[in-house]
């Protein structure tokens, strides 16, 4: 396999982030820090019922409260909008769409659905006014769980549908029936993945100012996808997009939750139009637990056919996505991804996977870092572990037997072409690191003290660099997937990069600055990266999600900067009376190669001056003034990163508590721009994976009431619950991406739960426990342990709550 080689330099360097000084000193500007003259603050009245018909809404008392400027109801929103809330992922042509508006007007279909909104002098008064709005509901029987929604005679969320199934699609590859008929062994499993969410520490927010005289809209959104949001605001509000400006201030974490387009953005706009004032809506934490995208909740049935030597010949699977009461921006997307990626890194010739999307009286299912892939991963990794137990083999030997070999790339999976990888080498790198860290010895020594330690592995792949626009469109995406970047050198030699990506903590400004600085040969300090304004910055398709920012933005910027460098050399050549081919650039100086220190050279400032200000006799004839290039990268394919996760965990058999003691990721994301940032992304993703495996669950009561609406109940792990993380890196470049970059922003979230469950099984191997429900809370694990000790079925978990 060919590899792209970049000269050593800033690409690959552990440089400090350019974003940090502002963030460290309180000088950042998050959306709640935006304050405009005359700005109002809004609050939304939310449904207390899981399923009810709205009989009447009386806002008259709220309107009379001093300090209230505008009130809007669901019926008024529907009237004011050109279109209902959009669904951009339309992967299944005959999918039933929910087509609801930003606020409910006929029925409410989940607790927390918006019904009316108030704009007032401040948030205190807005909340006072919510208490004065009278809504009469007629409560309806609810379908709060997957089983309730699929039951015969279930209450219908959408009365014009025959049932609660929004969509069903089967994706085949090869001949799965023959594979299963000819199998030496068949193993199957049903896995329940709990409802979880991204919970960025900054909740979502919007500040929108609608000029009622010109119909121009200025919006500040805490969003990962400013261009998408602008286009969708235009569609929903019926405005031409050139009148809409979306600014993205500092974003306090996104994790997919802020990729989606929510009703609050629309409500803020309409309240602004109505009041003639800028309107701010900041979701509070309680609201975030019902109004922000939920995710992960699926029931997954998976089975594989295999030969007795461990070779997997066929896979069948069905994913039931628990979608909630209306489709989110990404529709069936994450559940579909979980389904079509279920074979994962394994070379399985015959596959048949089915996705079923089911609406329930719960909050909508949307984006969360990983986007289906943690569930695909738990399906293939749990079934590999089970197959290994069935065959009496080591799980990693079954993995080795089936991992896609390096010479099989590009590898056709049921839907995607995996571009490149050295999967087995990655697995072995992790195995070696585990030996080096002495886990087996720790496990044996603990056993002597009566403690139960386990070692677990998982292998994951991650789709990144999303993605070829036309192919995404053919698949059903109502948006593009390219990225555009621009780079300019100013009259004093300083570099400005403009990007349509959002800076949300992932260090994109630093990563892009490293790419530009290395390519142009300038110091990192001379590069400024500007993000967060659709009016002045380039267009990025999709948004800052799908692990695409650094790969596609970096690739586009590399190409633009390369062309800009050529122009710099042509101008410098004129100044130095030399040939461009003889020039080198280093640290912002352009000199004739081989002349050494003190030789003839000009600075980037000289070149800037010759290009912008004092051109005569300096700028070569035929060159246009200014130094600016742009590039659009619409890649030929996505790029697949991959990794092995290894976990050492301890199980307390008396309480069911699991403590992760050590954590290791061997990882390959092609050319690394900044290893420190990559490690930080892996750590943070792994922390979310641990949360999802052991702690985090959005729990509903039998009446559809959410029971986890505070940080006291939705348990994000703290520093005391998390281990130290170790990373090992391989580099297999993506040859179709300039620079060879692959994305990796979601990597840590994908394989963590699988490795943790494997470690738990290993710690309890004498009991034959196999974890198939996540999160595996202490009560759940204790009941599995007790059932196994009593000789019952170890996988029967008593459902609580």
Partner 1 sequence: MTSLDVTMTVNGRTVTGRVEARRTLADFLRKDCAATGVHLGCEHGVCGACTVVLDGCTARSCCTLAVQADGAEVMTVEGLADGTDLHPLQEAFWARHGLQCGFCTPGILLTMRELLADNPDPSEEEIRESLSGNICRCTGYQFIVEAVKDAAAVLRASSADRG
Partner 2 sequence: MKPAPLDYIRATSVAHAVQVLAENDGDGKVLAGGQSLVPLLAMRLSQPTVLVDLGGLGELSYIRDESGHVEIGAMVRARTVEISSLIADAVPLLPVALRHVGHVTIRNRGTVGGSTAHADPAAELPAVLRALDADVVVTGPSGSRTIGAADFFQGFLTTALAPDEIVTALRVPKSAPGTRVAVQEFARRHGDFAIVAVFAAVELGASGEIAAARIAVAGADQVPVRAAAAEELLAGQDPSPAVLRAAAAEVAGATRPFDDIHGTADYRKKITAVLARRCLEQALPTAERSSAA
C-beta of residue 189 within 8 angstroms of C-beta of residue 772:
yes
The answer to whether residues 146 and 299 touch, using CB atoms and an 8 Å cutoff, is yes
Residue 779 binds which one of partner 1, partner 2, none, with CB within 5 to 8 A depending on kind? partner 2
Residues that bind partner 1 (CB under 8 A): 16-17, 19-30, 32-33, 35, 124, 198-203, 250-253, 255, 284-285, 504-507, 676-677, 679-680, 683-688, 710-712, 716, 718-722, 724-725, 748
Shortest separation between residue 707's beta carbon and partner 2, angstroms: 5
How far apart, in whole angstroms, are the C-alpha atoms of residue 478 and residue 636? Answer: 18
Residue 782 partner contact from partner 1, partner 2, none using kind-dependent CB cut-offs of 5 to 8 Å: partner 2
User: Which CB sits closer to partner 2, 128 or 629?
Assistant: 128
List the single partner that 622 binds among partner 1, partner 2, none, CB under 5 to 8 Å by kind.
Answer: none
CB of 801 to partner 2, least distance (A): 5
Select the binding partner of residue 24 from partner 1, partner 2, none (C-beta < 5 to 8 A, by kind). Answer: partner 1
23 contact choice in partner 2, partner 1, none (CB below 5 to 8 Å, kind-dependent): partner 1
Q: Least distance in Å: CB of 23 to partner 2?
A: 21
Give the nearer residue to partner 1 in terms of CB position, either 405 or 716.
716
Are the CB atoms for 722 and 689 separated by under 8 Å?
no
717-738 b/e with 16+ CB inside 10 Å = b?
beeebebebbbbbbebbbbbbb
For residue 778, the partner it binds in partner 1, partner 2, none, with Cβ less than 5 to 8 A by kind, is partner 2
Cβ proximity to partner 1, 35 vs 447, nearer residue: 35
What CA–CA distance (Å, rounded) separates 126 from 298? 37
Instruction: Read off the tokens for 701.
Output: 């009561």
What is the per-residue DSSP string for 388-423? HHHHT--HHHHHHHHBPPGGGPSEE-SS-EE----H
Strands (E), 259-311: 279-282, 298-306
Closer residue to partner 1 in complex, CB, 285/488: 285
Nearest distance, CB of residue 767 and partner 2, angstroms: 17
- Report yes or no: 532 and 538 within 8 Å, Cβ to Cβ: no
Question: Minimum Å distance from CB 222 to partner 1?
Answer: 10
Q: Dihedrals φ, ψ of 356, to 5°?
A: -125, 120
Q: How far is the CB of 18 from partner 1 (least distance, A)?
A: 10
Q: Which is nearer to partner 2, 165 or 286 (CB)?
A: 286
Nearer to partner 2, 124 or 161 (CB): 124
The residue among 65 and 92 lying less far from partner 2, judged by its C-beta, is 65
CB of 751 to partner 2, least distance (A): 23
Q: Which residue lies nearer to partner 2 by CB, 100 or 782?
A: 782
Nearer to partner 2, 79 or 710 (CB): 710
Nearest Cα to Cα of residue 732 among 400, 458, 433, 409: 409
| Number of other CB atoms surrounding residue 596 within 10 Å | 8
Least spacing, CB of residue 45 vs partner 1, in Å: 18
For residue 543, the partner it binds in partner 2, partner 1, none, with Cβ less than 5 to 8 A by kind, is none
CA distance 591 to 596: 8
User: 511 or 767: whose CB is closer to partner 1?
Assistant: 511
Contacted by 677, from partner 2, partner 1, none: CB < 5 to 8 Å by type? partner 1
Q: What is the C-alpha to C-alpha distance for residues 483 and 634, in angstroms, rounded to an integer?
A: 7
Q: Please, what is the minimum distance in Å from the beta carbon of residue 718 to partner 2?
A: 5
Other C-beta atoms lying within 10 Å of the C-beta of residue 127: 15
CB of 10 to partner 1, least distance (A): 16
Do β-strands 279-282 and 40-46 pair in parallel, antiparallel, or remain unpaired?
Answer: parallel
21 binds, among partner 1, partner 2, none (CB under 5 to 8 A by kind): partner 1
Q: Which is nearer to partner 2, 129 or 516 (CB)?
A: 129
Annotate 150-212 with three-state secondary structure: HCCCCCCCCCCCCCCEEEEEEEEECCHHHHHHCCCEEEEEEEEECCECCCCCCCCEEEEEEEC
Structure tokens at 447: 């056993």
Choose among partner 1, partner 2, none what residue 725 binds, the Cβ cut-off being 5 to 8 Å by kind: partner 1
Residue closer to partner 1, measured from CB, 28 or 92: 28
679 phi/psi in degrees, rounded to 5: -60, -40
Pick what 655 binds: partner 1, partner 2, none; C-beta below 5 to 8 Å, kind-dependent: partner 2
Question: Least separation, in Å, of the C-beta of 486 and partner 1?
Answer: 25
Contact 263, 281 (CB under 8 A): no
Among the listed residues 84, 134, 78, the one whose alpha carbon sits nearest the alpha carbon of residue 106:
78
Residue nearer to partner 2 on the CB measure, 633 or 661: 661
In the complex, the smallest distance separating the C-beta of residue 263 from partner 2, rounded to whole angstroms, is: 19
Query: Mutual orientation of helices 373-391 and 747-763 as an angle, nearest 10°?
Result: 30
Q: Which is nearer to partner 1, 27 or 408 (CB)?
A: 27
User: Token pair for residue 147?
Assistant: 């089983």
CA 2 to each of CA 5, 408, 539, 742: distance values in angstroms, whole numbers, following the listed order: 9, 14, 31, 15
Shortest distance in whole angstroms from residue 419 CB to partner 2: 40
With CB under 5 to 8 Å by kind, the binding choice for 695 among partner 1, partner 2, none is partner 2
In whole angstroms, the minimum distance from the beta carbon of 127 to partner 2 comes to 5
Binds 801: which of partner 1, partner 2, none (CB < 5-8 Å by kind): partner 2
Residue nearer to partner 2 on the CB measure, 43 or 322: 43
Task: Name which of 339 and 506 has its Cβ closer to partner 1.
Answer: 506
Cα separation, 717 vs 657, whole angstroms: 14
Binds 686, which of partner 2, partner 1, none (CB < 5 to 8 A, cut-off by type)? partner 1
Q: Enter the tokens of residue 356.
A: 């079923």
- How far apart, in whole angstroms, are the C-alpha atoms of residue 159 and residue 161? 5
Q: Which does 30 bind (CB under 5 to 8 A by kind): partner 1, partner 2, none?
A: partner 1
CB of 55 within 8 A of CB of 226? no
Report the alpha-carbon distance of residue 468 to residue 25 in Å, rounded: 40
CB of 128 to partner 1, least distance (A): 10
| Minimal distance, residue 250 CB to partner 1, in Å | 7
β-bridge partners, 463: 640
> Cβ 307 to partner 1, closest distance in Å?
40
What is the token pair recorded at 85? 């809330």
Q: Which residues bind partner 2 (CB under 8 A)?
A: 123-124, 127-128, 131, 284-286, 654-655, 657, 695, 699, 707-708, 712-713, 715, 717-718, 720-721, 777-779, 782-783, 800-801
DSSP 3-state of 356: strand
Q: Where is 528: in which H helix or E strand?
A: strand 527-530
Q: Which does 12 bind (CB under 5 to 8 A by kind): partner 2, partner 1, none?
A: none
CA distance 292 to 700: 15
Which of partner 1, partner 2, none lies near 293, with the C-beta cut-off 5 to 8 A by kind?
none
**Nearest CA-CA partner of 518 in 484, 552, 487, 483:** 487
Q: Which is nearer to partner 1, 220 or 725 (CB)?
A: 725
Residue whose structure tokens are 């019952």: 792
d(CA 217, CA 469): 28
Over its C-alpha atoms, the chain yields an Rg (Å, rounded) of 28
Between CA 379 and CA 301 the distance in angstroms is: 8
């Amino acid at each position: 396999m060919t590899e792209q080689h970049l000269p050593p330099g800033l690409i690959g360097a552990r440089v400090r982030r350019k974003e940090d000084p502002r963030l460290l000193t309180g000088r950042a500007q998050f959306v709640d820090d935006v304050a405009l003259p005359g700005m109002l603050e809004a609050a939304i009245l939310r449904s207390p019922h899981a399923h009810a018909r709205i009989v009447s809404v009386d806002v008259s008392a709220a309107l009379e409260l001093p300090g209230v400027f505008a009130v809007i109801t669901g019926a008024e929103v529907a009237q004011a909008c050109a279109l209902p809330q959009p669904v951009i992922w339309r992967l299944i042509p005959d999918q039933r769409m929910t087509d609801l508006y930003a606020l409910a007007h006929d029925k409410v279909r989940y607790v927390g659905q918006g019904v009316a909104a108030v704009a007032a002098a401040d948030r205190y008064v807005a909340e006072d006014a919510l208490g004065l709005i009278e809504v009469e509901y007629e409560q309806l029987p609810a379908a709060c769980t997957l089983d309730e929604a699929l039951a015969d005679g279930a209450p219908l969320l959408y009365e014009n549908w025959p049932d609660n199934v929004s969509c069903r699609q089967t994706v085949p590859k090869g001949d799965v029936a023959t594979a299963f008929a000819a199998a030496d062994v068949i193993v199957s499993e049903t896995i329940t993945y709990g409802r979880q969410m991204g919970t960025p520490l900054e909740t979502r927010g919007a500040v929108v100012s609608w000029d009622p005289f010109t119909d121009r809209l200025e919006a500040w959104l805490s969003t990962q996808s400013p261009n998408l949001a602008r286009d969708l605001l235009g569609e929903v509000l019926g405005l031409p997009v050139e009148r809409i400006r979306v600014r993205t201030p500092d974003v306090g974490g996104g994790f997919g939750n802020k990729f989606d387009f929510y009703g609050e953005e629309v409500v803020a706009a309409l309240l602004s139009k109505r009041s003639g004032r800028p309107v701010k809506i900041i979701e509070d934490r309680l609201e975030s637990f019902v109004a922000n995208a939920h995710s992960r909740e699926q029931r997954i049935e998976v089975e594989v056919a295999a030969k007795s030597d461990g070779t997997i010949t066929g896979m069948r699977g069905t994913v039931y996505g628990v979608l909630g009461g209306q489709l989110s921006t990404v529709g069936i997307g994450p559940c579909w991804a979980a389904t079509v990626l279920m074979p994962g890194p394994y070379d399985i010739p015959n596959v048949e996977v089915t996705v079923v999307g089911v609406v329930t009286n719960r909050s909508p299912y949307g984006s969360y870092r990983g986007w289906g892939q943690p569930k695909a991963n738990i399906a293939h990794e749990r079934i590999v572990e089970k197959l290994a137990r069935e065959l009496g083999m080591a799980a990693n030997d079954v993995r080795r037997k089936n991992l896609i070999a390096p010479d099989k790339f590009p590898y056709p999976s049921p839907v995607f072409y995996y571009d490149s990888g050295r999967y087995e080498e990655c697995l072995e790198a992790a195995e070696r690191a585990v030996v080096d860290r002495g886990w087996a010895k720790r496990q044996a020594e603990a056993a002597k003290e009566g403690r139960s330690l386990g070692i677990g592995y998982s292998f994951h792949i991650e789709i990144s660099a999303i993605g070829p626009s036309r192919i995404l469109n053919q698949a059903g995406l109502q948006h593009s997937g390219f990225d555009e970047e621009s780079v300019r050198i100013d009259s004093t030699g300083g570099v400005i990069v403009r990007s349509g990506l959002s800076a949300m903590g992932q260090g994109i400004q630093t990563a892009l600055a490293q790419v530009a600085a290395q390519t142009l040969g300038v110091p990192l300090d001379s590069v400024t990266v500007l993000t967060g304004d659709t009016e002045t910055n380039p267009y990025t398709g999709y948004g800052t999600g799908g692990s695409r920012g650094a790969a596609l933005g970096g690739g586009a910027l590399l190409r633009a900067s390369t062309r800009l460098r050529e122009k710099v050399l042509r101008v410098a050549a004129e100044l130095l009376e030399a040939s461009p081919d003889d020039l080198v650039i280093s640290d912002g100086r352009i000199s004739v190669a081989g002349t050494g220190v003190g030789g003839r050279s000009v600075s980037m400032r000289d070149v800037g001056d010759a290009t912008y200000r004092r051109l005569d006799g300096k700028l070569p004839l035929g060159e246009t003034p200014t130094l600016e290039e742009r590039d659009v990268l619409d890649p030929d394919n996505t790029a697949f990163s991959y990794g092995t996760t290894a976990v050492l965990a301890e199980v307390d058999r008396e309480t069911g508590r699991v403590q992760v003691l050590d954590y290791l990721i061997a990882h390959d994301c092609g050319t690394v721009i900044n290893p420190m940032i990559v490690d930080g992304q892996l750590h943070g993703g792994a922390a979310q994976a641990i949360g999802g495996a052991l702690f985090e669950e959005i729990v509903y009561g039998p009446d559809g009431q959410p029971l986890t609406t505070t940080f006291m109940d939705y348990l994000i792990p703290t520093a005391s619950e998390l281990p130290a993380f170790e990373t090992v890196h391989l580099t297999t470049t993506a040859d179709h991406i300039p620079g060879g970059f692959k994305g990796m922003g979601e990597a840590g979230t994908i394989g963590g739960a699988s490795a943790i469950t494997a470690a738990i099984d290993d710690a309890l191997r004498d009991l034959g426990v196999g974890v198939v429900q996540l999160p595996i809370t202490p009560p759940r694990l204790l009941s599995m342990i007790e059932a196994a000790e009593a000789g019952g079925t170890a996988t029967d978990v008593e459902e609580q709550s």
